[in-house]
Amino acid sequence: MQSVKPDQGQSEQIASQLRNDIISGRMKEGAPLREIALAKQFKVGRGPIREALQRLSHEGMVTAKPNCGVRVAASPPNSIQELIIPLRRTLETFALRSFYHDLKPTDFQRWDDILQRMRRACENCDYASTVELDIEFHQSIVERAEQSDLLSIWLTMVSRLRHQFQQGHRKYDDAMKIYYEHAAIVAIFQTGDLEQSLQTLEWSIS
């Protein structure tokens, strides 16, 4: 039957879509997310909606007040960036160190794939895709460590940067700059020089 979907992650799909709506700015700060409205919109019951909302709440995308519903969370102050940058540097270098001795061709295949898509996005000045690929690249490093705890902590930190993503970060002034930067990172990885790789990765996080 066509209606039989895999459906393992129905709530995750819903959460993902709402995440995009919030990150893209389509939903403004303080906008309410009503369970019934979302249930009708996604053609599901309220159960999966509540799960997705709880997930987003834990990620800090929305704030939930008991018996009152959830709203798009106010953006954290820009000063949070000064905290998250060193945290990310510590975590991502820790992750890279943990599997650097076991780099395989498939790893570089994945990175090359990301780089290819990133190049196209940069060439087309597709800002949204560029941001997403920037995140995907760094996330791929954390995931490669194959320690779910690392990914959980990383996601908790990065999801607080949504405001920096929304309004074009100064980092993305020059369209191609971010592509070259990441291409350089992968090139350093290929040399097998651990210390140099750690430094380059660390420097790229800003």
Contact positions vs a copy of itself (CB under 8 A): 8-9, 47, 50-51, 54-55, 58, 60, 63, 66-67, 76-77, 80, 82-83, 86-87, 90-91, 94, 147-150, 152-153, 156-157, 160
Residue 33 contact, options DNA, a copy of itself, none, Cβ 5-8 Å cut-off depending on partner type: DNA
DSSP 3-state percent helix, strand, coil across the chain (nearest 5): 70, 5, 25
Minimal distance, residue 152 CB to a copy of itself, in Å: 6
Binding residues with DNA: total (CB under 7 A):
26
Alpha carbon 155 to its chain centroid, in Å, reads: 7
**SS3 call for 46:** helix
Residue 69 contact, options a copy of itself, DNA, none, Cβ 5-8 Å cut-off depending on partner type: DNA
User: Would you state the structure tokens that stand for residue 11, as one six-digit string?
Assistant: 């709530």
The per-residue b/e assignment along 190-201, b for 16 or more CB within 10 angstroms, e otherwise, is: eeeeeeebbebb
Span of 38-46, 81-89, 131-139, 165-173 interacting with DNA by CB under 7 A: 38-46
168 binds DNA (CB under 7 A): no
- 10 Å CB burial of residue 3 (0-12, 13-18, 19+) is exposed
Please give the residue ranges that form the binding site for DNA (CB under 7 A): 4, 6-8, 10-11, 32-36, 43-48, 50-51, 64-70
